[in-house]
Structure 1
Amino acid sequence: MRILIVEDDQDLCQELKLLLDNAGYDGMILKDFEHAKEEILALCPDLVLLDITIPFMNGELLLKELRKETQIPIIMVTSQNNEVDEVLSMSYGADDYICKPYNPTLLLLRIEAVLRRVHRKLNHYTYRDLVLIPDRGVVKCHDEMLILTKNEMLILKYLIIHQGQIASREEIMMDLWDSEEFVDDNTLTVNVSRLRQKLRSIGYGDVIETRKGLGYILV
C-alpha cells in the first residue's frame, strides 16, 4: 500500500516515511506543491496524509479540488485542534482527521481503519496476482500499479469476470456500448493492444490470448 505524505516540514516527512515504511507501507513524499493536485492524481496512492497548512494552496481547498476527480482516501492533518477545520475537512470529503502532535500508533490505527473501510466499498476483480479496481481505474500487481483508460478498464473487467471462457469481440463491444462507450471493431483492436502493452510492463503481456475467429480469453 502506497501512502503519500503531503507536508512541507521535511523533518516530519522523513519521520512519517520511516514510520510508514516500518509498518509495511510504502511511504512517499510529495515534492511539487505548486502542482500538488496533478502530482497526487498522477501518483495515484492508496491513501494521502494531507496537511492543512501547505504552500500555494490550503490543504482543505486542495482536498475539495481532489474530490472533483478522485475518491482516493485522504486523512487531513493539522497542528491546531480546531473544530471548524475538522467540520470543513469532513464536509469536503476527508475520510478522517487527526491533530498534531499525534501518537504514532494512533495514526497507524487511523490509516488501517480508513483503508479497511474504503476497500470494503470498492469493487475488486482479481486474476492471478492482478487486482483490478474499476472505481479508481487502476490494476495492481504486488507493489506495481497501472493506470488504465476507461475502455481498457472495461475490457479487462469483462475478461476477468469471464475468465476461463472465450469472450467474442461482439460481446465485449456490446458491454462497452452498454457503458455508453461507443467502440467499433478497429477501436477494440487498438484498445486490446494498448492493454496488452501495459500488462506486459508488469510481466502479464501474454495473458490476453487471441482465439482466431472466436475472440479473446485470459490464459
Structure 2
Amino acid sequence: MTRIVIVEDELDIASVVQDYLRHAGYETTHFADGQSALDHLIASPPELTLLDIMLPRLDGIEVLRRAREHTSHPVIMLTARIEEVDRLLGLELGADDYVCKPFSPRELVARVRAVLRRTAPPAERSQALQGMHGLMLDDVHWRASLEGTPLNLTRREFGLLQVLSRHPGRIFSRARLLELAYDDTMDVTERAIDSHVKNLRRKLGAVTPSHDWIRSVYGVGFAWEAPGQG
C-alpha cells in the first residue's frame, strides 16, 4: 500500500486529510513537528510527504532542505503563506507541488494522485494494478478490465469502481461516493451516482452475468460484493 506521511501541527486539518487519504486507499502516518518528521523521512522514506511550512521545532522549509540530502521522494508543501518567495523557495529546494490553505480535501487527494503518477518510475507508470477475482485497475490511464476483458469505462465510472472495489463489503452512501470518487463534483449529483452504478453493473455483468458485483443497500447506498463474499 502507498505510504503517505502528513506533517501538520494543526490536528483538525491533519485528521481530515488522513481520513480522506485513507478512504482513497493510502496508508498514512502523521507527525505534528518538523524534527520528528525529518527523523522518520530519513530513516524510512514514504512514497509521498505532505509537509506544512509552519511547524514547531523545525519548520517545513528546513525539513525539506535536510530531507533532500537523503531522499528524493515527492513532497507536496502545505501552507497558509501565499507569498511568491515562499513558493519559489519550496520548489527550488525540491518540492513537487504547493497547496495553499484553506484547501479542499478532495482537491488535495487529486493533487496527491497526480504527483504520484508524475513521479512514478516508467515501469510503474505503465503497470496495471492487479485486483482480486480477475479485476485489474490501471490508475494511471483510467482503464479497467475483468477476467482479461476491457470494461471501457468512463472516467466517472472508473472513479466509482476504484472506490468500491478497494473496500469490499463496505457500504458507501451516495454522498460519500461523490466525495471519494470524484475530484471535481461540480457537474455530478447524488442522483447521477445511480446512473453511473447502473452503467457499471451493465458492463461488469456483460463479462460475468452470473454475479452482481455491486450490491444496493436500500436507503443507504452501495457496496462491492466479491464472489463468495456474502
TM-score interval for Structure 1 and Structure 2 normalised by the shorter chain: 0.5 to 0.7
Percent identical pairs in the alignment equals: 39
Amino acid at match of 2:29: M
Structure 2 distance, partners of 1:86, 1:122, is 31
1:36 equivalent in alignment to 2:37: yes
Deviation of 1:31 after TM superposition, in Å, equals 5.2
CA shift, 1:40, in A, is 1.6
Instruction: Tell whether the 8 Å contact from 1:18 to 1:27 is kept in structure 2 after alignment.
Output: no
* 1:43 positional shift: 3.1
Cα distance in 1 between the residues matched to 2:86 and 2:8:
17
Q: Distance in 2 between matches of 1:121 and 1:80?
A: 34
Q: What residue identity is the alignment partner of 1:52?
A: I
What secondary structure does 2:120 align onto? helix
4+ residue stretches of structure 1 with deviation over 6 A? none
Q: Would you say how many aligned residue pairs link Structure 1 and Structure 2?
A: 126
Shift of 1:46: 0.8
Moved more, 39-48 or 69-78: 39-48
- 2:108 and 2:33 mapped to 1: Cα distance? 24
Give deviations 1:76-133, integer Å, cap 9, x for gaps.
0101222111100000000100101112221111111110011045789x9xx9xxxx
Assess, with a 3 A threshold, how the Cα gap between structure 1 residues 70 and 79 changes in structure 2: closer, same or farther.
Answer: same
Instruction: Tell me the TM-score normalised to structure 2 length.
Output: 0.51
User: What's the counterpart of residue 26 of structure 1?
Assistant: 27
Partners of 1:32 and 1:39 within 8 A in 2: no
Query: AA paired with 1:45?
Result: P
- Is 1:78 aligned to 2:70, yes or no? no
Alignment of 1:160-175 (within 5 A): none
Question: Hey, what does 1:17 align to over in structure 2?
Answer: 18
Q: Distance in 1 between matches of 2:72 and 2:4?
A: 14
Q: 1:31 to 1:85 in 2, by over 3 A?
A: closer
Q: Which amino acid aligns with 1:47?
A: L
The residue aligned with 1:47 is 48
Structure 2 unmatched runs, 5+: 131-230
How do 1:128-167 and structure 2 match up within 5 A? none
Q: How many Å apart are 1:60 and its aligned residue?
A: 0.8
> Distance between the aligned counterparts of 1:73 and 1:122, measured in 2?
17
Q: What residue is the counterpart of 2:209 in the other structure?
A: none
Runs of 5+ unmatched residues, structure 1? 130-219
TM-score by length of 1: 0.53
Structure 2 residue 75 is matched with structure 1 residue 56:
no
Distance change in 2, residues 1:121/1:41 (3 Å): farther
2:33, 2:58 within 8 Å by CA — same for their partners in 1? no
Q: State whether structure 2 residue 95 is matched by structure 1 residue 94.
A: yes
Q: RMSD of aligned C-alpha atoms? A: 2.2
CA distance in 2 between counterparts of 1:35 and 1:22 reads 25
> Once the two structures are superposed, what CA deviation does each residue of 1:145-167 show, in whole Å capped at 9, x if it has no partner?
xxxxxxxxxxxxxxxxxxxxxxx
Q: Structure 1's 88 and 122: CA in aligned 2 closer, same or farther, altered over 3 A?
A: farther
What SS is found at the alignment partner of 1:71? coil
Specify the SS of the correspondent of 1:69. coil
Q: Secondary structure at the match of 1:55?
A: coil
Specify whether residues 55 and 32 from structure 1 end up closer, same or farther in structure 2 by C-alpha distance, changes over 3 A only. Answer: closer
Task: Specify whether residues 122 and 39 from structure 1 end up closer, same or farther in structure 2 by C-alpha distance, changes over 3 A only.
Answer: farther
Q: CA deviation at 1:42?
A: 2.2
Which letter does structure 2 place at the counterpart of 1:116? Answer: R
